[in-house]
Structure 1
Amino acid sequence: MDVIHELTQSRLFCIFVSMSLGYAIGEIKFKKIALGSTIGTLIVAIILSCLGGSLDPKSEPIYFSIFLFAIGYDGGENIIHIFNRTALKAVALSIVMMLASLLSILLVMKFLHLSKGMAVGITAGALTQSAIIGSANDTVMSLTNLPQSFINQYNLDVTEGFSISYFFGVIGAIVWCSMVIEHLFKRSIRDDAIMVSHLIDEAYPPTSRGVSPKHTIFVLCNGLILGVLLGYIQVRMFGTTIKLGITGCLISGLLFGYINHKRPNRLVISQAHTKFLKDFGLSAFIAAIGLSSGSKVIQGIMHNGLDVIMASIIMTILPLFIASLVAYYGLQYKNIALLGGALAGARTASPASGVILHKAGNSVPMQSFMVPFILSSIFLTFLGPIIILFL
């Protein structure tokens, strides 16, 4: 037991064991269905967390920023064409996701009697959009007649709600966008991705990126530096401050990928390297979530009962369910690979996009991911002030 305790205190041991064993578990098939390396990594990380392993949550953005930059770089080649072709549908889907999320908030607050702080925390966590907390906090600070006791309790509720619901938000989006929609609409992400890939190749022929490894670290580090700087940009809209945050790394990836497409061999990262960056960044991020939040979820159930868990599940699943139906039947996202990418984007669920890309085996889901992601990163932020002022 002492050996186990010593090992679980090593953060490096925990994160790499989570990724290694998680990959092995993810390859095991049950009736021809494999969990996948992402879910496998999460399972191992949660077990290690319950055994005493932990990881500083502040390390999560490091891995996530690498992942975001890599998927942005891959999608940068055709971003202008993608935006022109999908803008209207993306706007509609992002608005639907925001309204469906608002409906879900109303339901959980009415039937589970949540405080405003808990509602803000759960909403931000379940939608994996921490900017909601920032916009809600700005609104709370602007209300001068609030007693200090309310503010103190509000801050505690926000922290607790977010720490529990974020776990469900990340995993729920991955499972829904990469697995559930296949069963819901009786189609295969892989088959649908193959179906349209040749059309994309004809419209936008692939270009050579070069394979020189000497550029990779230089381009990656400078891309992440630019992404961090972009993340500090703040825009004031309708009385709410919107900050790009870690999304800046996605935007810098798009920019670098687009520049390399227009001027080859200037900002080169080979496809093999971007694949590694995506796989490593996503796996490490999921391991970090499991290690930092796994035991907290168990503690949250014991402390709050099932109310917070139920609210987190509802806030995670209901918006995705409504948006899936509207997207498939109303907006004509009949291709499941594109539907999965669009849903992940509208839910700002970047980890889900990584799993969908792996399942598709090509870049087709990215054609529908980027624009809704950017739009929803703005739209969902307004839920914070709405909860504080009107609910």
Structure 2
Amino acid sequence: MTWLVTTLRHYPEIAIFLSLGIGYWIGGKSYKGFSLGAVTATLLVAIAIGQMNITVSPNVKSVFFLIFLFAVGYGVGPQFVRGLAKDGLPQALFAVVQAVLSLGAAVLVAKIAGYDLGSAAGLFAGSQTISASMGLASDAINRLSLPAEQAKALLNAMPTAYAVSYIFGTVGSAVILATLGPRLLRIDLVAACKEYEATLGGTKELGGAGQAWHRYELRAFRVLADAPACGKTVSEVEALQPNNTRLFIERVRRGGTISEATLDTTLQADDVVAIAGPRDQLVSVLGGGGPNGDDGGDSAVAVRRARVVEVDDPELLAVPAEGVDVYVTSKAVDGKTLQELATMPLARGVFLRKIKRGPTETQIPIMPSTKLHRGDTITIVGRTQDTTAAAKSLGVLDRATNVTDVAFVTLAITAGALVGAVVINVAGIPITLSTAGGALIGGLVFGWLRAIHPTFGRIPEPTVWFMNSVGLNVFIAVIGLTAGPGFVSGLQNLGIGLFVWGIVATSLPLILGMLIARYVFHFHPAILLGVCAGSRTTTAALGMVCDAAKSQIPGLGYTVTYAVGNTLLTIWGMVIVMILA
């Protein structure tokens, strides 16, 4: 044991990884639906290991916290901007109101209970379940020019107050929103969600990754001897399709040879052709048999007309295909309708799935008369060679990759941190975002720019998760290791009163927020509790609300409010110190 203590003191990096390993393991366990989560578990483990008086450079904490905040901003940047558009403006405004209520409750409780700055900041972070705010609170305390011992005592008190108040902050907020909320507001969640879902009819996008059903398919058909396609070229056969039908012959098997189909390829009897197109068109034009496999119905008529039979040919269908985003920059396609573009060579074998336009990434309906403009981001589906060729004619291809644009990440964090480092003195009071706040704002700006101009700065989702989760938890581990020695004495001094005050700081703004959302903002009952959960950034509460509603509809009110709430509640860590100081 002596050797272990000495080793951890000499190599504090081992203590950090040990805290993370045990913290993530414990945080992943749950009992009757309740889990500490990785953040709280890592903090408690680090505090326990910190009893060995382990010293960690504060620079480690700062580096990982900047990474975390940038990842948060990058992830919610597009949603944050969309929240300022007209459709999300009421939700964004409510998130501001909820954030102010959360800050006000914590300030009120701290003043009544007489807590110091560190305890107040920790109480706010724990009761509002916003651990990231402790980073900005720490920066703010360090800028107060306090004696070193006093500043250290305040910083050590912060994780103590956080750990004690976080438990009810997580469980209590979920219970208040999911259980008390419907009764208090007299809402029938299940009925409200069914009614709201009915008003959305047809807006849900079907197909794509993670779903068994796909809108676009590649299927193999054998050409019969008396088929109209026999003796005709591929271009002639594709021209025989009914109006508004887009089916393309991609490959041909003749005997034992497979070749790529070209427009001048002539089809013969017994050729097996790979045909790509929307599933409904493949069924209606080439599908075989009626609903029970008989020879009746419209599909059977189509088969007799086309004279093709579907076959299983895995080798023929082994075609590289993908769905990719393309940022439109070509002057040649600017202002052209989709109907006009469909006749151009670039459109052959390519299917349009989505169009996003403008700073708010507004989805544009896909109709024959819809015009494509420079600056649009479109999602196209097809063979890799077809999507590549189309992208070359349309603009810039943004193909998914597992490689992170590290140069972008580091320079963006640098730019944000430099802006945050600027200090403006107002009446002798230093006002600054701090490097941490600057990194958060930098993430918001660059995340939004990446969404509307996807030609740079790709960060794969797993990387964003890693930066977000590990960045925060390394920061939390260093806090716990540093504060470990003072945790026990701090808990003895603050006692059960801190837990009780944490209940007040959690419950008061949530109850007021629900009433304001219902009677001032008049949100639809189906999304109201989701809006409240997002404003408080409590995912556990959203899960319980969706369970109670037997629907995922409440989640529609979560994203915009989460983006705004997560940003403001994090910044409030600095603001609460400034107010109470």
Distance 2:179 2:469 in 1: 25
Cα distance per residue 1:238-264 (max 9 Å; x no partner): 764321111111111111111111111
The answer on whether the counterparts of 2:141 and 2:577 sit within 8 Å (CA) in structure 1 is yes
Distance 2:511 2:176 in 1: 10
1:24 aligns with 2:213: no
Distance 2:56 2:153 in 1: 17
Query: 1:319: which partner in 2?
Result: 505
Find the partner of 1:371 among 544, 551, 564.
564
Query: 1:182: which partner in 2?
Result: 174
1:261 aligns with 2:454: no
Query: 1:4: which partner in 2?
Result: 4
Q: What SS does the corresponding residue of 2:511 show, helix, strand or coil? A: helix
Find the partner of 1:120 among 113, 117, 122.
117
Q: 1:215: how far off? A: 4.2
The answer on whether the counterparts of 1:124 and 1:166 sit within 8 Å (CA) in structure 2 is no
Distance 2:93 2:35 in 1: 36
Distance 2:400 2:573 in 1: 39
Find the partner of 2:94 among 89, 96, 100.
89
Distance 1:378 1:12 in 2: 29
Q: 1:53: how far off? A: 3.5
Distance 2:31 2:567 in 1: 37
Distance 1:358 1:292 in 2: 34
Gaps of 5+ in 2: 125-132, 181-188, 206-360, 364-376, 380-397, 547-551
Q: In the superposition, relative to structure 1, how do residues 87 and 215 fare at CA in structure 2: closer, same or farther (>3 Å)?
A: same
Q: Which structure features the higher share of helix residues?
A: 1
Of stretches 272-281 and 80-89 in structure 1, the one that deviates more from structure 2 is 80-89
Specify the structure having the higher radius of gyration (Cα).
Answer: 2
Q: 1:356: how far off? A: 8.3
Q: Which structure has the higher relative contact order (CA within 8 Å, separation 6+)? A: 1
Distance 1:26 1:135 in 2: 29
1:275 aligns with 2:462: no
The answer on whether the counterparts of 2:528 and 2:557 sit within 8 Å (CA) in structure 1 is no
Q: In the superposition, relative to structure 1, how do residues 121 and 37 fare at CA in structure 2: closer, same or farther (>3 Å)?
A: closer
The answer on whether the counterparts of 1:122 and 1:311 sit within 8 Å (CA) in structure 2 is no
Distance 1:32 1:58 in 2: 37
Q: 1:286: how far off? A: 2.2
Query: 2:420: which partner in 1?
Result: 231
Of stretches 244-253 and 230-239 in structure 1, the one that deviates more from structure 2 is 230-239
Q: 1:37: how far off? A: 2.5
Q: In the superposition, relative to structure 1, how do residues 237 and 337 fare at CA in structure 2: closer, same or farther (>3 Å)?
A: farther
1:306 aligns with 2:493: yes
Q: In the superposition, relative to structure 1, how do residues 122 and 30 fare at CA in structure 2: closer, same or farther (>3 Å)?
A: closer
Q: Which amino acid aligns with 1:331?
A: A
Distance 1:37 1:137 in 2: 27
Find the partner of 1:211 among 400, 405, 410.
400
Q: Which amino acid aligns with 2:440?
A: L
Distance 2:123 2:378 in 1: 38
1:163 aligns with 2:352: no
Q: 1:269: how far off? A: 0.9
The answer on whether the counterparts of 2:533 and 2:542 sit within 8 Å (CA) in structure 1 is no
Q: In the superposition, relative to structure 1, how do residues 287 and 171 fare at CA in structure 2: closer, same or farther (>3 Å)?
A: farther
The answer on whether the counterparts of 1:234 and 1:241 sit within 8 Å (CA) in structure 2 is yes
Query: 1:347: which partner in 2?
Result: none
The answer on whether the counterparts of 1:131 and 1:242 sit within 8 Å (CA) in structure 2 is no
Q: What SS does the corresponding residue of 2:430 show, helix, strand or coil? A: strand
Distance 1:36 1:69 in 2: 21
Q: What SS does the corresponding residue of 1:266 show, helix, strand or coil? A: coil
1:341 aligns with 2:534: yes
Q: In the superposition, relative to structure 1, how do residues 50 and 183 fare at CA in structure 2: closer, same or farther (>3 Å)?
A: same
Q: In the superposition, relative to structure 1, how do residues 238 and 163 fare at CA in structure 2: closer, same or farther (>3 Å)?
A: same
Query: 1:69: which partner in 2?
Result: 70
1:40 aligns with 2:226: no
Query: 1:148: which partner in 2?
Result: none
Q: 1:80: how far off? A: 1.7
Query: 1:107: which partner in 2?
Result: 112
Q: Which amino acid aligns with 1:89?
A: F
Distance 2:26 2:142 in 1: 41
Find the partner of 1:331 among 506, 517, 520.
517
Q: Which amino acid aligns with 1:284?
A: V
Q: 1:19: how far off? A: 1.2
The answer on whether the counterparts of 2:164 and 2:498 sit within 8 Å (CA) in structure 1 is no
Q: Name the % identity.
A: 20
1:248 aligns with 2:470: no
Query: 1:146: which partner in 2?
Result: none
Q: In the superposition, relative to structure 1, how do residues 247 and 379 fare at CA in structure 2: closer, same or farther (>3 Å)?
A: closer
Query: 2:215: which partner in 1?
Result: none
Query: 1:290: which partner in 2?
Result: 480
The answer on whether the counterparts of 1:231 and 1:243 sit within 8 Å (CA) in structure 2 is yes
Distance 2:453 2:474 in 1: 32
Q: In the superposition, relative to structure 1, how do residues 261 and 316 fare at CA in structure 2: closer, same or farther (>3 Å)?
A: same
Query: 2:355: which partner in 1?
Result: none
Q: Which amino acid aligns with 1:330?
A: I
The answer on whether the counterparts of 2:29 and 2:35 sit within 8 Å (CA) in structure 1 is yes
Distance 2:432 2:37 in 1: 33
Q: 1:363: how far off? A: 10
Of stretches 265-274 and 57-66 in structure 1, the one that deviates more from structure 2 is 57-66
Q: Which amino acid aligns with 2:493?
A: L
The answer on whether the counterparts of 1:341 and 1:367 sit within 8 Å (CA) in structure 2 is yes
How many residue pairs get matched?
352
Q: 1:14: how far off? A: 0.9
Q: 1:265: how far off? A: 2.8
Distance 2:46 2:139 in 1: 28
Q: 1:337: how far off? A: 4.9
Q: Which amino acid aligns with 2:26?
A: I
Cα distance per residue 1:97-121 (max 9 Å; x no partner): 3332332133113xxxx6xxxx334
Q: What SS does the corresponding residue of 1:34 show, helix, strand or coil? A: coil
Cα distance per residue 1:35-57 (max 9 Å; x no partner): 33223322321221123444334
TM-score, normalised by the number of residues in structure 1: 0.72
Q: Which structure features the higher share of strand residues?
A: 2
Q: In the superposition, relative to structure 1, how do residues 107 and 249 fare at CA in structure 2: closer, same or farther (>3 Å)?
A: same
Q: What SS does the corresponding residue of 1:241 show, helix, strand or coil? A: strand
Q: 1:375: how far off? A: 4.6
Of stretches 262-271 and 179-188 in structure 1, the one that deviates more from structure 2 is 179-188
Distance 1:39 1:54 in 2: 21
